[in-house]
Amino acid sequence: MSAATMDAAPQRRRPRREIREITLLVVTVAIILGVGIVKPGFMHYDNLEFMVLSAVVLGLIAIGQTFVIMTSGIDLSVSAVMGLSAVVFGLASTTVHLPLAAALPLCLILGTALGSVNGVLVAWVRIPPIIATLGTYSLFGGLTFIVSNGTQVDQVSNQFARFGNGDLIPHLPVPTPVLALAAVALLAWFVLNHMIFGRNILAIGNNASAAYNAGIPVKRTLLFVYMIAGALASFGGLVFVAYTGSATATTGTGDHVELQSIAIALIGGTLISGGRGNLAGTVIGSVFLSVVITALVFLHVPAIWYSAGEGLMILAAVTLGAKRGAAR
Amino acid sequence: MNRFLPRHAWDRTLAIILIALLVAFCTLIPGFYAGFGGTLAITDQFLPFGFVAIGLAVVILTGGIDLSVGAIASLSAVIMAILTKSGGLDIWLAAVLALIIGAILGWLNGIVITSLRVEPLIATLATSFIYTSVATALAGASPPYGFGKPFGVLGNGTIALVLPVQLLMFIGIAIGFSILITRTGFGRRIVMVGYNRDAAHYAGVAVPGLLRKVYAISGFMAAFAGIVLASYYDAVRPDMGNILLLTAITMVVLGGVSIFGGEGGILGVTLGVLILGVLRQGMLIAGFSDMVTTMLTGAILLVSIAAKNLLSDRGFGYGALLLRLINSRKQEATPPNT
Amino acid sequence: MKSITKTLLLASALCSLAGIAPAHAQDKRIKVAMVPKLIGLSVFKANEKGAIAAAKKLNIQFLYTGPVTASAQGQVDIINSLIARRFNVITITSNNPTQPAPALERAMKQGIKVVSYDSDVAPDARDFFIQNTSYPAMGKAMVDSVEQYAGPDAKVAILSSTPDAAIQNAWLGAVKTYMTAHFPKMTIVTTQYGESSPSKSLSAGLNILQAYPDVTAIIAPDGAAEVGAAAAVKKLGRTGKVFVTGASDPDSIRQYVKDGIIKASPLWNEVKEGELVMNVARLAADNKLKPNDTFTVKGLGTYAVKNKVIVFSKPLVFTAANIDQYHF
C-alpha cells in the first residue's frame, strides 16, 4: 500500500535482533569500567545517575522515532515538536502558571495533534515520510518562533523543576525523568510485543502491500505511529524544560535532535528499511551516547574532538553489532 | 510503470513555475528587478546549495543519502584556506587539492557504507561528526580569510559584465551531470541500483564499487560548493557548510528525484534549485522575515510533492481517479501497489 | 533613487495622515534595520526594545529582522534583501566577523551606512562599531568576581560558546591577561564549549563538575553558557562550593543570582545599548559623525568615537542587590 516500502531496497542484512543490544550493553559497560579504572569518579553513583539522566530526553524521542522507523518511515519533525512543546509549556508555566497536572495531558495532546499532521501527510497524501516531516519541520519550527514571540523561557515553576530534578518515590534515589523513561519504554515494549497494533507495525515495515492484503489497517496504523512519535517528542520537550528550566525557540532543532534520535534508533539495532525494531537497543543506545560524551570529558580529550569521538564510537558500535550478527 | 508521472511532465511543470515566479517577482516586488545583470546576480547567493544538490542527487538516485555534505564543504574549504595561508600554496592549486580531498572524504563514506556495511544515513552522520571536528581543529581560534581579488571571481565574478561565473559553472555542471546520468552506462547503472539493487546486482553491476564512486562524486561537489562559498565570503569557517544539507535535500526532492532512488533527473534538480533559491531571495526582498520564508518553503515542499502525487497515480483516490479518467486513452491504468 | 523618494513621500504622507509629528521635523525619515545573530533570544529582544523606543524619537522606520538559526549565511541573505529594499542604515551584531563582510561592503558601496554592535565585523565592512564594554574591563570584572568568592588560588573552568567566537575569545584573552598579572595562583583547568545551545551548555557544565571535581569557579562568557554552568552547579548541589560568572542577561540568571551560585556577573544595559545603536544610526545616516568625534545623546550621556569605535559603557555588574532593577 505505502509507496515507501514498495521502492525501498530489499534488506540484505539482518543482524539477529538480540545481538545489537547485547553488544551495545557490553561496549557501554566496557567504557564505564575502562574509564572508571583511570578516573574513579566516573563510576561514582552520582555520575552514573547523571549519565542516565542526561539520556532521558533523547531516549524518549528515540523510542517514538523507533516506532516510525519500524514502519520504514522516518520523522525529521521530532526536534521541532520537542522545541515547540518546550516553549509552549515553559511559557505556560511562567505566564499563566499552568500546573504540571494540566501540562502533562496537554503536552500529550499537542504532540499527538502535531504527529497526526505527519501521519495524514504520510498515510493519506502519500508524501514520502522524509519529505513530509522535512516540511512539517519547517512549519512547526516556525510556529515555535511565533509562539515564543522572540523571547525565551528562563525559569519554570518549582513544580516543573521538581518533576525534572526530584525523586518521585521517597527513599528510592531514582530521578523522576528516569522513571518516566523506564515507564515509557515498558509501555512501548508491551505495545510492540503484546498487542496486535505492534505486530501490524512490523508487518507494514516488512511489506506494506502484503500487510494491506492481509487486512491490516495500514493507513490507520501509520497515523497512530506518527501520533506516538509526536506525543513522545512533545513529552521529551516537557521533560527537557522541566529538567533544564529554560528553553528557546531553537531548542531541539538547534541541537539536531532529529538526527540524534535517528542515530540512536539505528545504533540500537532498528533497521532503517523497517520491519524490525529494537526498543531495548534504543534505550541502551541513548545511554551509550551520553556515556561516550561524558567519558571524553573525563579523559580530558580537548573539546573540539568530542564530535569526532562520538562519530567514531557510533561507527564502532554499529559495525561491532553487524560483524557479530554476520558471524552467526 | 505508469505509476510515476512522466519525468518531462514534472520538469515542464517546474519550468513553468520558475518562469511564473520570475515574472511575478520582477513585476510585483520593487527592488527584485535590478537590471538584467543585477537580477542574475541573485543566483550568487544560493547556487552553492545547487552544487551540493547536484552531487547529492546522484547519491539519492542510488537510494542512499549523504548527510556529510555540509561537513565536507566546510572541511575542504578550511583545508584550502590553510594550504594557501599557512602552506603558501597558490590559491588555485589549493582549491584543486581541496576538491580532491572532498572526493576522498566522500569515497571514505563509500568505504564505510560498502565495506563496513553501515547504513548510508548513519555512516554519513558519523563521518560528518568526524569531519566537523577536524575542520574546527584546523580552523583554530580565528579562521583564515582574505584570499585576494582574483579568487573572488569564482563566487562573485561576472563574464561579459552580466553573466555570473557561478551561474555559468552551474549550467555547465548541470549539463555534464545530465549527460552522465542519461547517456552513459555509469549513469544508467546508478539509476538501476536505485531502482532495484538486487536486480542490478544480478545484472552484473558491481554495486559496492559503483556506490563508492557515487559518494566520491557527492564529496567532490560538496567540496566545490565549499570553495565557491569561501570565494563568495572571502573567508572560511568550520561551520559554514552546516546550512547546506536540509535545503539541498529539499531542492533534490522538489526536482522530482525520488528519495527512495531510481527515479528522477538532473534537469529537474536544476529547476528545483533555481525555484527554491529565487523564491527565498524574492521573499526576503519582498520583506518577509526569514521565519516566514522558511515556513513557506516547507509548505511549498509539501504542496508540490502532494501535487506531484496527485498528478501521478500515487495520489489520494479522487485526484488520481480524475487524472486516470482524463488520461485513460493515453495511458493504461495500472492498479495501485504494483 | 526614485523609489526612495517615493517611499519618503509615502512615509511622510502616512505620518501626517496618522497625525504623528516627527520629533525632529527637519530630519528626513530613514529606514533602519537591526539584524541580530538570530531571532528568539531575550538578550537580542532587549536591544530591540531600546531601539524601538529610540526610533520613535528619531523619525526612524525601524525593522528588527534576523535569521532563525545563528548562521552567518542567514544574516547575509537578510543583508542582501535589505540592500535591495534600499534601507538607509543596517545595524548588525554578527555571527562571525568575516562571512558577512563582503555583503556589508556591497551595502556601503551603495551608500548604505553600516553600524555594527556587540560582535564586530571586519573594520572595512562597517562605518561604526559600538563596543558594548571595554574588553579588559569585562575580563577584569569576571576575574575579580572569581577572586572575591572562590579565592585567589581558584581552579577555574571556562565554558565558552565556540572555539572561534570573536567576542568570547576577546573576553577570554582579557581574562587570561588579567589573571596572570594579578592572581598568578589562579589556574584554568579546562575549556569547554556549549555552542550557545542551552542543552549543550548544561551538559558541558555538568561534565565539567563531574570530571574536574576540584573546580571552584566557572567563567562562562556567553548567555547560554552561564545559565548552563549555573544550572549544573545547582543540580549537583555544589552551591557555595563552585561560583559561576560570565555574561548573561539578568532575566536568564536571576534565579541563580538569588540562589548564590552567581555572585557577580558583568554585562551592560542591553536596552540602553539598543537606544544608542539607533542614535548612532541616525547620526551616521545624516553624515554627522566623523571617525574620531564626540557626541551627546539625551538620557544616555556623552560618547567618544575613536577610530570608528564607540565604547558603550562600563560593565554593569549584576548582584543579588541590584538585579531586580533590571528586566531584559
Interface test with B, best of C68, C81, C167, C169 (most B CBs within 10 A): C81
Is B337 buried (19+), middle (13-18) or exposed (0-12) by CB count in 10 A?
middle
Tell me: pLDDT of A262 over 90: yes
Distance from CA of A53 to the nearest CA of B (A): 23
Angle (CA) B288 B292 B294, round 5°: 115
Phi, psi of C168 (to 5 degrees): -60, -40
Q: Cβ atoms within 10 A of the Cβ of C39, count?
A: 25
- For CA atoms C233, C239, C240, C245, the dihedral sign is positive
Judged by CB atoms closer than 8 Å, whether chains meet at B316 and A124 is answered as: yes
Q: Where do runs of H (alpha helix) occur along C151-188?
A: 166-182
Considering only CB atoms, A304 lies closest to which of B63, B128, B136, namely B136
Residues within 8 A of A (CB atoms), C 282-321 only: none
Scanning every residue of chain B, which has its alpha carbon at the shortest distance from the alpha carbon of A321? B118
- For CA atoms C112, C117, C120, C123, the dihedral sign is positive
Helix (H) or strand (E) holding B159: strand B158-159
Tell me: pLDDT of C6 over 80: no
In the structure grid, which three cell numbers stand for residue B54, read together? 547536484
**Domains of chain B: which residue ranges?**
43-287, 291-331
Residue with cell 551603495: C110
Nearest partner of C27 among C2, C62, C58, C3, judged by Cα: C58
Q: Cβ atoms within 10 A of the Cβ of C116, count?
A: 28
Least confident residue range of A166-170, B67-71, C48-52: A166-170
Nearest partner of A182 among A20, A291, A59, judged by Cα: A59
Most distant CA pair in chain C, distance: 68
Helix (H) or strand (E) holding A202: helix A196-206
Residue that wins the pLDDT comparison between B281 and A326:
B281
**Band of pLDDT at residue B35, cut at 50, 70 and 90:** confident
Least confident residue range of A65-69, A211-215, B72-76: A211-215
Tell me: pLDDT of B338 over 50: no
**Residue A269 near residue A281, CB atoms below 8 Å:** yes
- Interhelix angle for A158-165 vs A176-194, to 10°? 60
Distance from CA of C131 to the nearest CA of B (A): 19
Whole-number Å distance between alpha carbons of B18 and B275:
5
Residue A171: partners with Cβ closer than 8 Å, 6 or more residues away: none
Helix (H) or strand (E) holding A222: helix A218-244
Residue A194: partners with Cβ closer than 8 Å, 6 or more residues away: none
Interface test with B, best of C73, C86, C192 (most B CBs within 10 A): C73
Scanning every residue of chain C, which has its alpha carbon at the shortest distance from the alpha carbon of B145? C98
Whole-number Å distance between alpha carbons of C324 and A184:
41
Measured between beta carbons, the chain C residues lying within 8 angstroms of A297 are: 192, 204, 207-208, 210-211
What average pLDDT does the segment B129-149 reach? Answer: 94
Judged by CB atoms closer than 8 Å, whether chains meet at A47 and C210 is answered as: yes
Tell me: pLDDT of B96 over 80: yes
Phi/psi class of residue A269: alpha, beta or left (left: φ > 0; alpha: ψ in -120 to 50)?
Answer: left
What average pLDDT does the segment A256-279 reach? Answer: 90
Q: Where do runs of H (alpha helix) occur along chain B?
A: 7-28, 35-40, 47-61, 69-85, 91-114, 120-139, 149-156, 165-183, 185-195, 197-202, 207-233, 244-254, 266-285, 290-311, 317-327
Tell me: pLDDT of B313 over 60: no
**Band of pLDDT at residue B322, cut at 50, 70 and 90:** low
Q: Cβ atoms within 10 A of the Cβ of C17, count?
A: 8
**Residue A222 near residue A2, CB atoms below 8 Å:** yes
User: What pLDDT is stored for residue A322 in this prediction?
Assistant: 59
Tell whether domain A40-326 is in CATH 1.10.3470. yes
Residue B77: partners with Cβ closer than 8 Å, 6 or more residues away: B98, B223, B226, B227, B229, B230, B236, B240, B241
Tell me: pLDDT of C3 over 70: no
Measured between beta carbons, the chain B residues lying within 8 angstroms of A272 are: 119, 121-122
Task: Say what the alpha-carbon torsion angle A19, A286, C218, A41 is, to the nearest 10 degrees.
Answer: -40
Whole-number Å distance between alpha carbons of C51 and C91:
11
User: What pLDDT is stored for residue A15 in this prediction?
Assistant: 46
User: What pLDDT is stored for residue A12 in this prediction?
Assistant: 44
| A175: three-class secondary structure by DSSP | strand
Name residue C129's beta-bridge partners. C116, C309
User: What pLDDT is stored for residue B328 in this prediction?
Assistant: 52
**Domains of chain A: which residue ranges?**
40-326
Whole-number Å distance between alpha carbons of C219 and C203:
15
Residue C151: partners with Cβ closer than 8 Å, 6 or more residues away: C216
What average pLDDT does the segment A230-248 reach? Answer: 94
Tell me: pLDDT of B260 over 90: no
User: What pLDDT is stored for residue B324 in this prediction?
Assistant: 53
Distance, first Cα to last Cα, chain C: 39
Distance from CA of C305 to the nearest CA of B (A): 26
Is C20 buried (19+), middle (13-18) or exposed (0-12) by CB count in 10 A?
exposed
Cα dist. B176→B54, B109, B185, B255 in Å?
A: 11, 23, 14, 17
Q: Cβ atoms within 10 A of the Cβ of B143, count?
A: 27
Which CATH architecture describes the domain B43-287?
Orthogonal Bundle (1.10)
Name residue C131's beta-bridge partners. C311
In the structure grid, which three cell numbers stand for residue C41, read together? 533570544
Residues within 8 A of B (CB atoms), A 31-90 only: none
Residues within 8 A of A (CB atoms), B 170-199 only: 196-198
Q: What is the pLDDT of residues B249-259, one digit of tens each?
A: 999 999 999 88
User: What pLDDT is stored for residue A152 in this prediction?
Assistant: 87
Measured between beta carbons, the chain C residues lying within 8 angstroms of A251 are: 198-199
Tell me: pLDDT of B311 over 50: yes
What average pLDDT does the segment C199-219 reach? Answer: 93
Whole-number Å distance between alpha carbons of B250 and A135:
9
Tell me: pLDDT of B287 over 60: yes
- For CA atoms C113, C314, C230, A284, the dihedral sign is positive
Whole-number Å distance between alpha carbons of A208 and A246:
42
**Band of pLDDT at residue C154, cut at 50, 70 and 90:** very high
Q: What is the pLDDT of residues A54-92, one digit of tens each?
A: 899 999 999 999 999 999 999 999 999 999 999 999 999
Percent of chain B with pLDDT over 90: 73
Distance, first Cα to last Cα, chain B: 8
Measured between beta carbons, the chain B residues lying within 8 angstroms of C39 are: 289-291
Judged by CB atoms closer than 8 Å, whether chains meet at A138 and B295 is answered as: yes
Interface predicted TM-score (ipTM): 0.87
Helix (H) or strand (E) holding B158: strand B158-159
**Residue C50 near residue C273, CB atoms below 8 Å:** yes
Considering only CB atoms, B337 lies closest to which of A1, A128, A312, namely A1
Q: What is the pLDDT of residues A22-37, one digit of tens each?
A: 889 999 999 999 999 9
Least confident residue range of B257-266, C22-31, C297-306: C22-31
**Residue B276 near residue B247, CB atoms below 8 Å:** yes
Concatenated DSSP letters for C64-133? E---SSS-HHHHHHHHHHHHHTT-SEEEE--SSSSTTHHHHHHHHHTT-EEEEESS---GGG-SEEEESS
Cα dist. A102→A80, A81, A98, A99 in Å?
A: 22, 19, 7, 5
Judged by CB atoms closer than 8 Å, whether chains meet at A245 and C231 is answered as: yes
Whole-number Å distance between alpha carbons of A203 and A200:
5
**Mean pLDDT score of chain C, rounded to an integer?**
90
How big is chain C by its Cα radius of gyration, in Å? 21
User: What pLDDT is stored for residue A13 in this prediction?
Assistant: 46
**Where do the domains of chain C lie, and which CATH numbers do they carry?**
25-132+269-312 (3.40.50.2300), 135-267 (3.40.50.2300)
Q: How are beta strands C316-318 and C265-267 bridged, if at all?
A: antiparallel
Tell me: pLDDT of C21 over 90: no
Tell me: pLDDT of B201 over 70: yes
User: What pLDDT is stored for residue B126 in this prediction?
Assistant: 95
Q: Cβ atoms within 10 A of the Cβ of C110, count?
A: 9
Cα dist. B290→A63, A83, B50, B251, C279 in Å?
A: 32, 18, 20, 18, 26
Nearest partner of C217 among C154, C261, C260, C295, judged by Cα: C154
Measured between beta carbons, the chain B residues lying within 8 angstroms of A312 are: 126, 130
**Mean pLDDT score of chain B, rounded to an integer?**
89
Measured between beta carbons, the chain A residues lying within 8 angstroms of C68 are: 141-142, 145, 249-250
Considering only CB atoms, C84 lies closest to which of B32, B140, B290, namely B32
Nearest partner of C245 among C266, C259, C260, C231, judged by Cα: C266
- Beta strands of chain C (E only): which ranges? 30-35, 60-64, 89-92, 113-117, 128-131, 155-160, 187-193, 217-220, 243-246, 265-267, 293-297, 301-306, 309-311, 316-318
Residue A96 at interface with chain B, using a CB cutoff of 8 Å = no
Taking CB atoms and an 8 Å cut-off, how many pairs form between chains A and B?
Answer: 154
Least confident residue range of A324-328, C134-138, C172-176: A324-328
Tell me: pLDDT of B89 over 60: yes
Cα dist. C327→A185, C270, C319, C323, C324 in Å?
A: 42, 10, 14, 8, 7
**Band of pLDDT at residue B10, cut at 50, 70 and 90:** confident
Residues within 8 A of B (CB atoms), A 127-146 only: 127-128, 130-132, 134-139, 141-143, 145-146
Phi/psi class of residue C246: alpha, beta or left (left: φ > 0; alpha: ψ in -120 to 50)?
Answer: left
Tell me: pLDDT of B231 over 90: yes
The distance of Cα C35 from the centroid of its chain, to the nearest Å, equals 12
**Band of pLDDT at residue C290, cut at 50, 70 and 90:** very high
Residues within 8 A of B (CB atoms), A 252-281 only: 259, 262-263, 266-267, 272
Judged by CB atoms closer than 8 Å, whether chains meet at B298 and A137 is answered as: yes
In the structure grid, which three cell numbers stand for residue B245, read together? 544539507
Angle (CA) A94 A97 A103, round 5°: 100
Q: What is the pLDDT of residues A160-182, one digit of tens each?
A: 888 888 877 777 778 899 999 99
**Band of pLDDT at residue A271, cut at 50, 70 and 90:** confident
Distance, first Cα to last Cα, chain A: 34
User: What pLDDT is stored for residue C17 in this prediction?
Assistant: 43
